[in-house]
Amino acid sequence: QSVIDTVMDNHEYSAPLHGVNLQTVQMADLDGDGVDEYLLFTKSTAVDPLRIFIFQSQNGGFVVLDVIDNSGADFDRVEYVQLDDNPGVEIVLGRQIGKLTGKRVGVYSLRDGSVHRIFAADYSHLLCCDLNADGKEELMVLRPGAGTENGIAALYEIQSDGSVKTAAA
């Protein structure tokens, strides 16, 4: 709690609004070392108000390992899934851009002690599932069409080298 208190200046707790991970502090093994990292979801009045602090246990205490900054009004949802062949899980982070506007999903991976964004896409609905039974999940994103256009379903698959394979219909 004392480490959390040091980063909360000008921030407030801001848990995701939807999905199964609704806590303001969550745990996931992001780097695959067998020890969970802690993720703290906050909001501030900054330009990029949505912030996730990632804490790691070190020498009997906790330190801030990295921070994910995003724009938007709220965290929509977060999932921790195995999207590639590398150790650890990826962060699938959906956020509401504005109160009346769309949503944006970002996929993040913790590698070599820092978080890297793999890709981002707009969405209205998203689903993580292992469609091809290869032991790692894919991300399916649905986007509505504009005006009279049909909507789009896009499937994203993360390769071991971090590249993204996409199929859309």
Q: What is the pLDDT of residues 99-155, one digit of tens each?
A: 767 899 999 999 888 999 999 999 999 999 998 888 889 999 998 877 778 888 999
The amino acid at residue 30 is L
Q: Judge contact between 136 and 84, C-beta under 8 A.
A: yes
Kindly provide the b/e burial profile for residues 132-147, where b requires at least 16 CB atoms within 10 angstroms of the residue's own CB: eeeebbbbbbebeeee
The CA radius of gyration of the chain, in Å to the nearest whole number, is 16
Q: Which two tokens stand for residue 99?
A: 């109160």
% of the chain residues with pLDDT over 90: 63
Nearest by Cα to 22 from 38, 41, 3, 44: 41
% of the chain residues with pLDDT over 70: 99
Strands (E), the chain: 11-13, 25-28, 37-44, 50-58, 61-70, 74-81, 90-96, 103-111, 114-123, 125-129, 138-143, 152-158, 164-168
pTM of model > 0.85: yes
Q: Which two tokens stand for residue 124?
A: 């209205």
Residues 6+ apart with CB under 8 A from 120: 104, 105, 106, 107
Q: Judge contact between 46 and 32, C-beta under 8 A.
A: no
